[in-house]
Amino acid sequence: MLPTITVFGRTIAMYGLMITLGIIMGVMIAIIRRSKYNISKDDVIFSSCYGGIGLVVGAKLLFIITIIPTIIANWNFIMSDISLLNEALSKGFVFYGGLIGAVIGFYIYSRIYKIDFMMLIDLMAPSIPIIHGIGRMGCFFAGCCYGMHYDGPFHLVFEHSTVAPNGIPLFPIQIVECVFNIMAGILLIFYTRRQRKPGKAIGIYIIYYSIMRFLLEFLRGDISRGIVLNVSTSQLISIFLLPIGIYLFLKPKK
Amino acid sequence: MDNKSDGKATASLVLGIVSLVFIFFGTFAFIGMILAIIGLVFGISAKKENPEDGKAKAGIVLCIIGLALCTISLLACAACFASLAFLPF
């Protein structure tokens, strides 16, 4: 759709721009909501930095893990031109890796600076789907994470994408995920307007997202992603995350 | 202000400035990201030790800006495995 824009002569990737805008918005929402959680503004910003670092590292690491079999299968071809390996490693991020990495980042911050981890993660819970939803708009602009072939109402046809197949009607999965994520963020903001036990908000988010992601993966068209035991990597992680979400929701910290 | 905290604040400020330079280095922006991350850790630690430290605050702000701008200039696409499109399988 619009993979890059030019600002003052510099080309900027819309994906990176949307992710950054999403993070700024997510942190601002957390700052506005922080009073109920007794967490200072500095701690929200600083912990978000740790979370952001974890997000980038985790998303990249999971991507590298998923492409290891492909790299091994094409080892000789890649070794013939080492820049191909650099090309493969310099692109590609996986949301679930980012989510896990961000949670680890928040955990490290809470341990170093003695903050209640469950309170912190509950404060950030509505921000996560909002960041993700805005990031999905970046996918839409870049043409990545595209849907399966579909020629019903509201289908998308990419014309100049370097990622999605051009000229083929596709299911608008990026927009659907964006809407579901933003909706989750808004619902969580309303849910946490009343004081809830720590763990409830993040538990609900994990339950919601793991079910949603598991189902929406069937509508994805970018099939050259990690497949384990006949399900995608994200579906496999969803299966493992769902009981964790249920546990956090039903057995919150006293 | 003790020397240790001041050293961290200075390191954060320097790393923040250097990370901003890497915005203009294309794919080498990832070096700027790494520097900004290290600068953030130092800056946050210094600010926690001395909340009134203006140098640490400036370092954190520069590192956040550096990290954001390097990320924008580097990230092309997420979860898209387009980078593997060149492989002959």
Select from A165, A157, A216 the least CA-distant residue to B80: A165
In this complex, is the C-beta atom of A54 within 8 Å of any C-beta atom belonging to chain B? no
For residue A30, pLDDT over 50 is answered with yes
Poorest-pLDDT segment among A11-25, A102-116, A226-240: A226-240
Does the residue B87 lie in any domain? no
Tens of pLDDT, residue by residue over B40-49, are 999 999 988 8
Does the residue B88 lie in any domain? no
Tens of pLDDT, residue by residue over A232-241, are 878 888 999 9
Cα distances (Å, whole numbers) of residue B36 to A104, A108, B19, B75: 19, 18, 6, 16
Of all helices (H) and strands (E), which one includes residue A227? strand A227-228
Does the residue B83 lie in any domain? no
Q: Do A94 and B79 lie within an 8 Å CB cutoff?
A: yes
Between B75 and A42, the higher pLDDT residue? A42
Range of the domain at B59: 3-76
Does the residue B81 lie in any domain? no
In this complex, is the C-beta atom of A158 within 8 Å of any C-beta atom belonging to chain B? no
Sequential DSSP letters for A148-212: -B--STT-EEBSS-SSSPBTSEE--HHHHHHHHHHHHHHHHHHHTTS---TTHHHHHHHHHHHHH
Q: Give the residue on B whose Cα is nearest the Cα of A88.
A: B83
* CA A209/CA A214 separation, integer angstroms: 8
pLDDT of residue B83: 42
Sequential DSSP letters for A33-76: HGGGGT--HHHHHHHHHHHHHHHHHHHHHHHHHHHHHHHHHTHH
Does the residue B82 lie in any domain? no
Cα distances (Å, whole numbers) of residue A123 to A120, A195, A224, A252, B48: 5, 11, 36, 15, 21
Q: Do A94 and B51 lie within an 8 Å CB cutoff?
A: no
Say which DSSP state B1 is in: -
Q: Give the global pTM.
A: 0.83
For residue A58, give how far its alpha carbon lies from the nearest alpha carbon of chain B (Å): 12
| CB proximity list for B88: less than 8 A, separation 6 or greater | A74, A77
Confidence bin at A25 (pLDDT 50/70/90): very high
Tens of pLDDT, residue by residue over A172-211, are 999 999 999 999 999 999 998 888 888 889 999 999 999 9
Select from A173, A166, A254, A205 the least CA-distant residue to B79: A173
Q: For residue B82, give the 3-state DSSP assignment.
A: helix
- Point out which residues pair with A7 in neighbouring strands: A10
| CB proximity list for A187: less than 8 A, separation 6 or greater | none
**Cα torsion A61, A96, A45, A252: sign:** negative
Q: Do A224 and B84 lie within an 8 Å CB cutoff?
A: yes
Say which DSSP state B79 is in: S
Cα distances (Å, whole numbers) of residue B9 to A87, B58, B87: 35, 9, 46
Size of interface A-B (CB pairs under 8 A): 124
**Total domains present in chain B:** 1
In this complex, is the C-beta atom of B37 within 8 Å of any C-beta atom belonging to chain A? yes
Does the residue B70 lie in any domain? yes
Sequential DSSP letters for A148-165: -B--STT-EEBSS-SSSP
